[in-house]
Structure 1
Amino acid sequence: MDKHSYNKPAAYGEYVNGMIIAGHYHETDTYLTKRPNGRSDWLITYTLEGEGRFITPGREDYCSKGDLTLLRHGTPHQYGTRSGRIWNFVWAHFSSRIVETNLLPDMPLFIHAVDNDSAHQRIYQAFRRVISDSIERSAYWSELCENNLREILLLIAQRESKPIDARIEETQHLLSTNMAAVFRIDELARKVGLSPSRLSHLYKETIGVSIVESLNQMRIRQAALMLEHTNRNASEVALDVGFQNYNHFANQFRKHYGVSPRAYQSGRTRKND
């Protein structure tokens, strides 16, 4: 069978009532798919390398590395590799039961550029899980695929709702995923490709607070949740979220919540009894 005939049931199994099919293609410019009547499902692609071309009524669009495309169901279209290029991409067909598509712009073809490493890795890994689960067909495979597609759509909707500089987005990701670590501005700046002074200025201009204050806010919010919902004491929680000095932690906590960590935990405990 021609590997490009993935819209036929035999390619990945019967496609009915919300079933998901997905794959990973690496194609030369001879690759072309035409669907003059569209399809009853949605198509999502994510370009890893090279360029693809989409033709929809009245438009011709190109996608390159880091571009996620969402093709609306019922849209007449053709797509393939751009002339003279290769197109390395992952894709999935899915049904309208995944309603998170409503969070994205209402257009026949929507293209979103993913411009930072953490978002790229998150989207790519989600696609990898969709592909493997759709092929393995283990228990709950369809639900697992849908959850990963929803993660991709929600992440793109989040990025669309409040676009920020990719380097600031990456900085926030580094802070949140390594919250308890000791951070140096120069190390963060090196990782996102900015000078320390430029990063500090751009971060405060974009987020409204400094990097240090933003990190403190993340730590204090997490500490409040841990004090409320776990049995760990305030000193343990301080270390968990990255404060080496308890007095500094208590001062920062009081600044945000108006009470000490221990008073906060005691009050929440009584409230939940």
Structure 2
Amino acid sequence: MQSDASDKFKDVHGHHLIAGHYHESDTYLSKRLEGMKDWLITYTLDGEGYANTPEMEAVCRAGDLMLLKPEVPHQYGTRKGQHWHFVWAHFSPQQVQHMWLPTQEIYVKTIENTSVQRRIYRAFRKIIVDSTERGTYWSELCYNALQEVLILLAQRHQQKLDARVEEVLLLLSQSIREPWKIEGIARTIGLSPSRLSHLFKEQTGHSIIEALNQMRIRQAALLLAHTDRSAFEVSQDVGFHNYNHFMNQFRKYYFTTPTAYRNR
């Protein structure tokens, strides 16, 4: 990971992206007295790393995403007495929307949600494979996966939801057709039903069942607008097994019937 090594990884547009998966002892150190032209992003899987600039210091532990800004003198490596297991990528700032990038020289965010952690790691694996294989449209594939990571990071910064509430929302969105019960969701999350219900309502303003119904009705509205499926079929598609209940919920959110909504 020397500062000049990435030049040979430039694509046809002059932008470069290089990525890897490292497991390093506490002798690992990378030092750049003049900084670098690209961004560095790391995601720590295990152990501890660190990064220093003249103005900032940061420690990276399991679940931490770190971004290191271009043109800033820095060094980073494994903390003494530790190992550092992490995935990383250097990327061109010209290829990423600036709204997804932090302003700090070093930015570290802990990702507590286990589903989001898995999603970020899968995105890094895609970047590593595509940047190594360099097949057709490899750069576009890499930057799509990288932007997914950056958007997930920005989402964590904006929402500030408890990781367990995020897990519930993801669980519901992945399986909106399931006949969910609070007790089953609470067992999956690892909280009592009463504690989970209180936490979810406190953070979102809705009960879990209300949130699930909103997801189902939003999806139903999209299906009604963009497919030829009947209102009854749509109700089944999104998880309502009682058509009258579906009708009542649809009126609650859209103030009209599913059929009238489609015609309108």
Query: Shorter-chain TM-score category?
Result: over 0.9
Letter in 1 for 2:30: T
Q: 3-state SS of the aligned residue for 1:259?
A: coil
Aligned to 2:211: 214
1:115 paired residue among 107, 112, 117: 112
Q: Say how many residue pairs are matched.
A: 262
1:102 Cα deviation from its structure 2 partner: 3.0
Q: 3-state SS of the aligned residue for 1:25?
A: strand
Tell me, which stretches of 5 or more residues in structure 1 are unaligned? 268-273
Q: Is the 8 A contact 1:100 1:153 kept in 2?
A: no
Change (3 A) 1:7 1:249: farther
Query: Residues 109-258 of structure 1: matches in 2 within 5 Å?
Result: 109-258=106-255
Aligned to 2:70: 73
TM norm structure 2? 0.96
1:101 Cα deviation from its structure 2 partner: 4.1
Report % sequence identity.
55
- How many angstroms apart in 2 are the aligned matches of 1:97 and 1:81? 29
1:55 paired residue among 42, 45, 52: 52
Q: Is the 8 A contact 2:3 2:32 kept in 1?
A: no
Q: Is the 8 A contact 2:247 2:258 kept in 1?
A: yes
1:30 paired residue among 3, 27, 31: 27
Q: Is the 8 A contact 1:171 1:188 kept in 2?
A: yes
Q: Is the 8 A contact 1:98 1:150 kept in 2?
A: no
Aligned to 1:271: none
Q: 3-state SS of the aligned residue for 1:97?
A: helix
1:5 Cα deviation from its structure 2 partner: 4.4
Runs of 4+ deviating beyond 6 Å: none
Q: Is the 8 A contact 2:39 2:90 kept in 1?
A: yes
Q: Is the 8 A contact 2:24 2:78 kept in 1?
A: yes
Aligned to 2:9: 14
- How many angstroms apart in 2 are the aligned matches of 1:14 and 1:168? 41
Q: Is the 8 A contact 1:22 1:93 kept in 2?
A: yes
Q: Is the 8 A contact 1:101 1:153 kept in 2?
A: no
TM norm structure 1? 0.92
1:263 Cα deviation from its structure 2 partner: 1.4
